[in-house]
Structure 1
Amino acid sequence: MSPSPAPPVSWPAGKRAAASFTFDVDAESAVLSTHPQAADRMSLMSHQSYGPLVGVPRLLRMLERHGVRATFFVPGWTARRHPGSVRAIAAAGHEIAHHGYLHEPLTGTDTATEASFLDKGLDALEEVAGVRPVGYRAPMWELTHRSPGLLADRGFLYDSSLMDADTPYELAVPGGRSLVEVPVQWALDDWEQYCYLPDISGTGLIESPRKALEIWTLEFEAMRREGGCFVLTTHPFLSGRPSRAAALEELVERVAGCADTWLAPLADIAHHTRSLALPPRVVDRPDPRL
């Protein structure tokens, strides 16, 4: 089957575009999922725990200053390790969404294993924060072709892991079902700008927040002209640092001040997309033998 592009989306109240600020609260799980031996590296673990301990409170204060509601993707393990931070996110009125259990990579797993990550994460978020999330983001944005079906089986409304459109769309799921997909992209992620973890991630080149702000602002303005949906992904252990949080606040203020842009959590954007009754798109596995 030949792929087809996502159809255009009309935004509420005559808005021209949509935007959402999202935060992946990985904490130590982003490292431990693939390098469990790193638990013995006290300094590295402290770098990761900065997110829930310092970054999250700083970012929550920043969002409150501008009256912005955001989406926080939380691994179940993070919720159990840092329950106070996760409860503070919920208490501030932000959306809590699913991000695996221990931020586990899905590539190479079988169906039962992937399902167990989903179920453990759901149990942890309900236990700690009292929420049953409607949204999901795959660790490292690496969905499998079975992921949409597993999410639909569990009543999820949306996913935010794919990269093939500028606007949300209905993703076809086997059995005549669909899942709202809210696309992302690597250029709108702070990991590529700031993350250096010795022996694990990055080259050691840590960019200036000015550069990150320039990239993200340019993309927001272009997406706004296109009538698309701007989704920024940041990590509290990275963008929660003082100079980076200050740069991010400049962008939040700019986006929030655009009267023609609907700024909302991803769940609100997904509910709106579902209300449009768009025809589901099939995103199938390409055949490398063509």
Structure 2
Amino acid sequence: MAHIALKVDVDTLRGTLEGVPRLLDILDRHGLAATFLFSVGPDHTGWALKRVLRPGFLRKVSRTSVLKHYGLRTLLYGVLLPAPDIGRRAGPLMRACAAAGHECGLHAWDHVPWQDQVRHRDAAWTLQQMELGYARFGDIFGCPPATHGAAGWQINEAAWQQIDEWGLAYASDGRGRSPFHPLVSGRPLRHVQMPTSLPTLDELIGLDGVDEQQMDRALLSLTESSQDQVFTLHAELEGGAFAPVLDRLLSGWKAQGHQLGTMGDQFRAMSGRRVRAQPLRWGPVHGRSGEVVLG
């Protein structure tokens, strides 16, 4: 039996207001807790249109129907419409998530600039973004974040060091197969990285003959072993059109005998396990445009 950590990335205002309540209902029906990672500042989703020149981006957009999942209004935020402040608009829903027993952490202050720029930004810019997010998270929840999960699996060494400074025990900022301690300037940091190890639904759909009715079966075929996994959901997808897929997937994982829960649950179950150290490195992921941090 494996432990599968359910990690929910909440990128947008729409995802917070509409996707999170649907996910809470689904998780409640299954009697499960998950880790919700919130974007807490401005929603500049429209700025992501600049990615049109990135290799593979148009192919991914055509497969995943971005307009359907995010909505036209969201895609205009920061371009033709003002960027709404997610934390100020949706703070009560975020607190309801914590009150329902779910683990809550920080995803980003401003999702799109972080995802598109952090790889090449210096420590000053990185720490400013992180401190803005950390302070707003505290304003919303009245406590620090339990964990951190970087937007778009994009991170740099300064951010990893800041996670240590915050005293967080674990985070999930990249993709990979197993946990590791980040190695910065030849020194392993204290916190443990728990990378997303399974493909996301938007990476599966439209590739290798997988359609919306087959996504859950494709994932279940990857979890027949007893290896622990981290699965990233998106509030805009599994809390929207992919909700039936998630419902089937959770039932399937239960039938396989896996234990489903938060990142914190999985981290505590790792107690005493030897964890390797690894420096920052980048690479592609099948079904996703650009490069992400790999573990």
Pair in the same fold by TM > 0.5: yes
User: Is the Cα contact below 8 Å between 1:74 and 1:98 reproduced in 2?
Assistant: yes
Name which of 238, 246, 264 aligns with 2:261. Answer: 264
Aligned to 1:251: 249
Evaluate the alpha carbon distance shift between residue 279 and residue 54 of structure 1 in structure 2; reply closer, same or farther with a 3 A threshold: closer
| 1:282 and 2:267 aligned | no
How far, CA to CA, are the matches of 1:81 and 1:192 in structure 2?
30
Residues 90-169 of structure 1 aligned to structure 2 (within 5 Å): 90-103=98-111, 104-105=114-115, 106-165=118-177, 167-169=178-180
After superposition, residues 204-219 of structure 1 pair within 5 angstroms as: 208-219=211-222
- How far does residue 267 in structure 1 lie from its aligned partner after superposition? 1.5
CA separation of 1:107 and 1:172: change in aligned 2, threshold 3 A = closer
What residue identity is the alignment partner of 1:68?
Answer: L
User: 1:58 matched to which residue of 2?
Assistant: 22
SS at match of 2:214: helix
Which string of whole-angstrom CA distances, capped at 9 and with x for unpartnered residues, describes residues 112-131 of structure 1?
A: 11111211111111111223
Shift of 1:285: 5.6
In structure 2, distance between residues paired with 1:234 and 1:176: 29
Do residues 170 (structure 1) and 181 (structure 2) align?
yes
Rate the CA distance shift 1:124–1:279 in 2: closer, same or farther, 3 A. Answer: same
Residues 233, 88 of structure 1: alpha-carbon distance in 2 compared, 3 angstrom cutoff: same
Query: Residues 245 and 253 from structure 1, CA distance in 2 versus in 1: closer, same or farther, beyond 3 angstroms?
Result: same
- Unaligned runs of 5+ residues in structure 1 are 1-15, 29-48, 195-202
Q: How many angstroms apart in 1 are the aligned matches of 2:6 and 2:280?
A: 29
**Percent of aligned pairs with the same residue?**
26
CA RMSD, Structure 1 to Structure 2 (Å)? 2.4
**Partner Cα separation in structure 2 for residue 239 and residue 277 of structure 1:** 32
Give, in angstroms, the shift of residue 248 of structure 1: 0.5
Deviations 1:5-40 (Å, cap 9, x if unpaired)? xxxxxxxxxxx3210222111114xxxxxxxxxxxx
Shift of 1:74: 0.5
Shift of 1:192: 3.0
TM-score under structure 1 length normalisation: 0.71
Q: 1:113 to 1:271 in 2, by over 3 A?
A: farther
Give the alignment of 1:9-48 within 5 angstroms: 16-28=1-13
Change (3 A) 1:214 1:153: same
- Partner in structure 2 of residue 232 of structure 1: 231
